[in-house]
Chain A
């Protein structure tokens, strides 16, 4: 399918009337999943003196929000999410060093990984990518991640949110043991725990004491934003 549904263009028109007119090409590149143009436009904007935060908050996050919306209403599917995620990352690659230098705070700090014993990563990668596109700083620990590695990463990054993924029913209990390990290590109160993956249900999330369950990547972003607001 074309990566630009009618609704995408409609939104783009509205957006282009806004004050960030010069960044509309970047918005369009992310929406259409064009990594090359995304990087070029970001480089040009930086050269023209646009503040990195303005690029991220004014253009990239709205673009990825629109990607998420198009996914929700099934105009976009996984290939389009992957392309937009890649385009977003191409821009972020140029912006990240500048953010670090400027001491800019992200929307939240997320540690994400597939739990111990589970090697699946596509869903987890999509969630990580959409969270990054939503303005979060994402530390991806990969697959088969032990409780100890989650705990170390939470301490190291001062994370606000931990996302646990599992695709297998047999590895779902590792979500529970990871949460228990966070408690034992004294870091459970510092983070919100989100869980997801094909066999996981909201009921299971409640049973194991997680703070939330996201059915897909866009739900995870909404949840992270919601929980990020909580005291």
Chain B
């Protein structure tokens, strides 16, 4: 069973030969390839090269192609900046007030911002390894988190709490949703075997489950449904501890959930893990970047014992791996899967 077959088996709800590994490693891959983040953000050859070098080195089963969390917000008009070798950060929202929402237009992924570079990188990798290794194209932020970035996080969170029925909020969310949906479709067309998203700010570390249910969930569920109709498997990532919204996530249509390390792994297996594919969720910073090999082995062994039974599990870090993650820790993770992740 090659890597692609292993991943596809899991996505289809079957039992593979062993637990597949996906690495959310773009920052680490950029450093290890000796590339500059500034080039990685915009140059498809650089994006493809750093991921192919990483997969050659670690032999993981699923490449996750991701640039940062600002690509879509920039395409919608937000201003960003980056410190050297850091991913981008939004410094100027696209909208100074909700009154400006009429100015926004749904983006075209084939032409707008840096998205064409990401799509081209997926095409390049698909040509080279697409028959053997799974390619997961990350479509950046989903409607809720994207709207936060486009309007300004703090202002938008207060507007959601103060004026939830404002029709301009719904209008903004719709434009963000349609823009984001288009990127998933474009990634799949470019050769991604599965796609994913971050709804980074939608978890209970930031907003209440009630606000999640009203402003994030409907768009996520629509996305899952629309992509399923197109035959596209999507993985949803929400940052922080999602234990309190697992029951809601469990009601979504078929998809994957990449849960952050703070989420209760046992509860996740008993809720979303029953019918959805779980990705994750080793602590990327405390364990993989800062921990010892023994700590990585222990955390990986423990997670495999909880999430492996019955399949529907692809091992990954709970969020993006820091660029400082030692290679021996990634190797320890992979070796542990080979030791404990094999199905009988």
Q: Which of A's residues lie within 8 Å of B, judged by CB?
A: 1, 3, 33, 74, 77-80, 82-83, 86, 117-120, 122, 125, 144, 168-170, 198-199, 201, 204
CB-CB under 8 A for A120 and B89, given A1-B210, A83-B162: yes
The list of the 3 closest CB pairs from A to B, nearest first, reads: A169-B322, A199-B285, A79-B161
Is residue B83 within 8 Å, beta carbon to beta carbon, of the partner chain?
Answer: yes
Contacts of A79 in B (CB 8 A): 157-158, 160-161, 207-208, 211
Is residue B77 within 8 Å, beta carbon to beta carbon, of the partner chain?
Answer: no
**Contact (Cβ within 8 A) B86 A168:** yes
**Contact (Cβ within 8 A) B86 A170:** yes
Q: Which of B's residues lie within 8 Å of A, judged by CB?
A: 81, 83-86, 89, 91, 153-154, 157-158, 160-162, 204-208, 210-211, 244, 285-286, 289-290, 322-324
14 contacts between A and B (CB under 8 A): A78-B157, A79-B157, A79-B160, A79-B207, A82-B154, A82-B157, A122-B153, A168-B322, A169-B285, A169-B323, A170-B85, A199-B285, A199-B289, A201-B286
Contacts of A122 in B (CB 8 A): 153-154
CB-CB under 8 A for A77 and B154, given A117-B83, A170-B324: no
The docked-state distance in angstroms from the alpha carbon of A199 to that of B324 is 12
CB-CB under 8 A for A1 and B208, given A117-B83, A119-B81, A169-B322: yes
Contacts of B157 in A (CB 8 A): 78-79, 82
The docked-state distance in angstroms from the alpha carbon of A198 to that of B285 is 9
Contacts of A144 in B (CB 8 A): 83
* 8 Å CB contact of A77 from B81, B162, B206: B206
Q: How far is the CB of A168 from chain B (nearest CB, A)?
A: 7
The docked-state distance in angstroms from the alpha carbon of A168 to that of B89 is 12
Q: How far is the CB of A133 from chain B (nearest CB, A)?
A: 16
Which interface residue of A118, A168, A201 has the most chain B CB atoms within 10 A? A168
**Contact (Cβ within 8 A) B208 A170:** no
Contacts of B84 in A (CB 8 A): 117
Contacts of A78 in B (CB 8 A): 157, 205-207
**Contact (Cβ within 8 A) A170 B244:** no
Q: How far is the CB of B298 from chain A (nearest CB, A)?
A: 15
**In the complex, residue of chain A having the shortest beta-carbon distance to the beta carbon of B322:** A169
Which interface residue of A33, A77, A199 has the most chain B CB atoms within 10 A? A77
**Contact (Cβ within 8 A) A83 B86:** no
**In the complex, residue of chain A having the shortest beta-carbon distance to the beta carbon of B80:** A119
Contacts of A119 in B (CB 8 A): 81, 83, 86, 89, 91
* 8 Å CB contact of B323 from A3, A118, A170, A198: A170
Contacts of A199 in B (CB 8 A): 285-286, 289-290, 322
The docked-state distance in angstroms from the alpha carbon of A3 to that of B210 is 12
Contacts of B211 in A (CB 8 A): 1, 77, 79
The docked-state distance in angstroms from the alpha carbon of A118 to that of B208 is 27
Contacts of B286 in A (CB 8 A): 199, 201
